[in-house]
Amino acid sequence: MNNTNCIQPDKIFFENTLQPILHILVFIVGVVLNVWGLKSLLHDWKKVRSINILVLNLGLADMLYLLTLPFLIVYYLKGAKWMFGEAFCMVTRFCFNLNLYCSIGFLTCISVYRYLAIVYPIRALGKLTMTHTVVISAMVWILVSVQSLPDMTFPKSSVNKTEECFETTDWEHAAGYLNYSLGWTFMGFCIPFIIILGCYVHMTVVICHSHMMKKNKKQRVLKLLVSLILLFSLCFAPYHVLKNLNLYSRVLKNRNICSKWDSAIFVAHQASRGLVSLNSALNPLVYLHVNKDMGVQFRQLLQECQQKISCLLSNSHSLPASQTEQEIDSPSMTADVL
């Protein structure tokens, strides 16, 4: 039960303003970039490589979550009132967890594939087949689904059946959820992050000492490293740390203990919730560094957009001048001048 003696942070700004704005931004950018990336992959399906299978699954995980965002946007705009039923609330939260940990899983697989191709190219040649990659992708989906299923056993609304749709669970089950979340964080985030970090540290050393690798390939691998570090440092790491701290704060409140850092943790956790949803919009950055054809297509697309914007701006600047010339050449204007 929530301890009313503790100072409660103001949720209105975060739930009614910040969350819907971030969700709308993520939905628009994420859908556009993921649809473009998936379309590019499927268009060149005959040229597809094993690593592209992982990228395809990463995009599918993103789209699965993005399709639930309109419902969450309505939820937050309505003042955290869920109108779509408790069952669909659980499905929505399940899709978020599935996207989050499948993203981490497929990013880890992509990192390992890159590592083997660069550090052990001869040993890896011919061993990482399309069949192996499909099996590995299926295993990621299955493991993450099994890992996420216990989350659905925790209540997503309070005991008095309010219209809320909790990200984690109600106050009564906060202690049990904290234990589950800590184990989930270790298995689903910490271990993959250690694997990715180890792969890219070793890869960076090998790349820096390599005289056989072309400069553009070195740059592509290092850019992928920067993209992944950006994803983990901006989206994944703060969310997991602050989520568990926020749960611990709720456990303390249930014991009538009000921590001094409670409000600060709440604010930081709300910000991290918005940032973690950005992974669906930032994941397409991985497409550009894994598939060089997509990078070329993306640059061409940016150039076309830039040219169209330049044409529109030039036309808008020349419009008043052309209108003035038409007015001067018109009979009525000529008569007035004469």
Dihedral of alpha carbons 49, 52, 57, 60, sign = negative
User: Which residues of the chain fall short of a pLDDT of 70?
Assistant: 1-5, 7-10, 44-48, 158-162, 289-306, 308, 315-338
pLDDT for res 228: 79
Which residue ranges make up each domain of the chain? 12-292
The angle, 0 to 180 degrees and rounded to 10, between the axes of the packed helices 262-277 and 237-254 is 140
pLDDT for res 235: 87
pLDDT for res 206: 84
pLDDT for res 151: 93
Q: Distance from CA of residue 103 to its chain's centroid?
A: 8
pLDDT for res 297: 60
pLDDT for res 338: 28
Q: Any idea which fold 12-292 has? A: Rhopdopsin 7-helix transmembrane proteins (1.20.1070)
As a whole number of angstroms, the distance between CA 331 and CA 333 comes to 5
As a whole number of angstroms, the distance between CA 258 and CA 244 comes to 16
pLDDT for res 302: 58
pLDDT for res 121: 82
pLDDT for res 9: 66
Dihedral of alpha carbons 275, 281, 27, 144, sign = negative
As a whole number of angstroms, the distance between CA 160 and CA 304 comes to 55
Q: Distance from CA of residue 220 to its chain's centroid?
A: 21
pLDDT for res 222: 77
